[in-house]
Structure 1
Amino acid sequence: MISIVICSISPERLQQVIQNIQDTIGVEYEIIAINNREKCWPIARAYNEGARKARYSNLFFVHEDVKFHSQNWGVIIEEKMREPDCGIIGFAGSKVKFRCYSGWLQTPKMISALLYQREADGTKLEVRSVFKERPFEEVIVLDGLGMFVRREIWSEYPFDEESLTGFHCYDLDFSLQIAASNQYKNYVCCSHKVLIEHFSSGNYNGAWYKDTIRLHKSKWADKLPLKVPNFEISEKERRKYEERCFYHFVRGMLTVNCSEKKMVVKEFLFYSFSWKHLGHCVSIVCKYLKS
């Protein structure tokens, strides 16, 4: 039995995803749709309000721009959620969360994912770190397109309405809270019996960069990095990949209107010391001067 919480801004998409869930889920469920065209709540509040109304012990926070391509996927998910240490289950995530500013996405080596992703030139099957023997892969942080969690865990670690006052970083913060508790494990569902399609790839605008920077500084700066226990990475590798992740974050930030540009560029210039970093610094300074 699953309570499905959807923060909706499109009646058409909402009806499509409700019909798709009805046709494919295979277990008892309820839909709790928050009409956010009318309420205009931050997504953290919308999800919390939806969860408070839930009748069932399993919650599913999901975007309305998705479609399931498998039958009876609810059976597979419910079985996994019965494990006492199961935290959040999603469809894309990272085994490591670096200390630098970033969303859930770190570098390809750390990603686990199994989903259809709609892009401008078509829909591709995104497959990362998927193994036949492991239908669920442990991760630290998850993408928010769809997140299953038991209601008791959400009650203990609800979405942070005080820090998250917009429409970004709710997934990063929520999955970090639960991973950092050391009580539960987050997972990406890598089973071919649970295939989902996501119609959009996210909106990395100035607000996303600003919210990501603020969340790191106010809440997570002294708690990162975090990684899953069985993921081996040396200190040298970690520094290399973290510098690269930070570099891509800064490059992206310089393409949008973000008031924190100067501060973050300065932090990046003093972040690491290597020949690769010096090259990245030159690239960032040139891009900053043009922005």
Structure 2
Amino acid sequence: MLSIIICSVLPERLRKISQNIDETIGVEYEIVTIDNREKCWSIARAYNEGARQAKYPNLFFVHEDVMFHSRNWGVIIENKLREPDCGVIGFAGSKVKLKCYSGWFHNNEWECTFLYQKKGNKTKLEACNVFLECPFEEVVTLDGLGLFVRKEVWNLYPFDEKLLIGFHCYDLDFSLQIAASKQYKNYVCCSHEVLVEHFSTGTYDQNWYRDTIRLHNLKWNKILPMKVHGLNLSKKKEKKNEEKYLNIFLRCLLDTNYPEKRTVLKEFLFYPFSWKHLGHCISNLYKYIK
């Protein structure tokens, strides 16, 4: 039994996903719609309100621009959620979250993804680190296009609507909270019996950078890095990747209209990089600081 929670702003998209779910889910369900056209709530608040209204023990927070291509997928998900240590299940995630600013993703080595992604006029099957023998792969972080979780777990770790007042980072924070508890494991669903298509990609504008920086500085910097159990990550490799991805984050941020570029750039220059890496970074960033 699944309570499906949708924060909706486009009635036609809501109609389509509702019909698609009805035709494919294969288990008892309800749809809890938060009409956000007038409320203009943050997605964290909308999802928490939807969860409070839900009558079933399993929750599914999902974007309205999603479509399932397989039938009876609800059976597969419900079976996994019955495992006592199952946390959140999604369709894209990472086995590592470093301390540096980032979303759920760092690189292909740690990424685990299994979904159809619409790109322009074509749809690409994105399958990264997926194995036939493993219908579910453990991860730390998850992308928010679709998140399954038991209501009892959400009750312990609801979306942080006090800190996250916009439409970004709710997925990163939610999955990190549950992974950090050490009670539950998060997973990417890699089963060929659960095929989902996502029609849009994320928006990495100045608001995303603002919320990402706030989330790291106010909540997660003292706890990260985090990785799945059994993954070998040496301190040398960890530091090297921290340097690399913080550099990438900053370069992308400086190409936006983010209003506090100088503050972030100053923080970057005082980061404890190796001298060789710092010199490389400064040469790459010269156009921004000259």
TM-score (ref. length: structure 2): 0.97
| 1:289 Cα offset (Å) | 3.9
Corresponding residue of 1:155: 155
Question: SS where residue 192 of structure 1 aligns?
Answer: coil
CA distance in 2, matches of 1:15, 1:164: 28
Question: SS where residue 108 of structure 1 aligns?
Answer: coil
Matches within 5 A, 1:15-164: 15-120=15-120, 122-164=122-164
CA distance in 1, matches of 2:211, 2:251: 17
| 1:243 Cα offset (Å) | 1.5
Letter in 2 for 1:144: G
User: Are residue 285 (structure 1) and residue 283 (structure 2) matched?
Assistant: no
Corresponding residue of 1:252: 252
Letter in 1 for 2:186: N
Q: C-alpha deviations, 1:110-135, integer Å up to 9, x for none?
A: 10000011112521111111011111
* Structure 1 vs Structure 2 CA RMSD: 1.2
CA distance in 1, matches of 2:289, 2:24: 52
CA distance in 1, matches of 2:206, 2:120: 22
Deviates further, 118-127 or 41-50: 118-127
User: Are residue 189 (structure 1) and residue 189 (structure 2) matched?
Assistant: yes
| 1:269 Cα offset (Å) | 2.3
Structure 2 unaligned residues grouped into runs of 5+: none
The answer to whether the Cα contact below 8 Å between 2:57 and 2:150 also exists between their aligned partners in 1 is yes
Q: C-alpha deviations, 1:167-206, integer Å up to 9, x for none?
A: 1110011001000000000000011111111111111110
Deviates further, 79-88 or 273-282: 273-282
Question: SS where residue 163 of structure 1 aligns?
Answer: coil
CA distance in 1, matches of 2:289, 2:20: 48
The answer to whether the Cα contact below 8 Å between 2:243 and 2:277 also exists between their aligned partners in 1 is no
Corresponding residue of 1:268: 268
Q: C-alpha deviations, 1:133-163, integer Å up to 9, x for none?
A: 1110000010000000000000000001110
Corresponding residue of 1:209: 209
User: Are residue 178 (structure 1) and residue 197 (structure 2) matched?
Assistant: no
- Identity over the aligned pairs, expressed in percent? 62
Structure 1 unaligned residues grouped into runs of 5+: none
Corresponding residue of 1:225: 225
TM-score (ref. length: structure 1): 0.97
CA distance in 2, matches of 1:245, 1:70: 36
Letter in 2 for 1:27: V
CA distance in 2, matches of 1:231, 1:187: 15
The answer to whether the Cα contact below 8 Å between 1:7 and 1:47 also exists between their aligned partners in 2 is yes
Aligned length: 289
Letter in 2 for 1:42: S
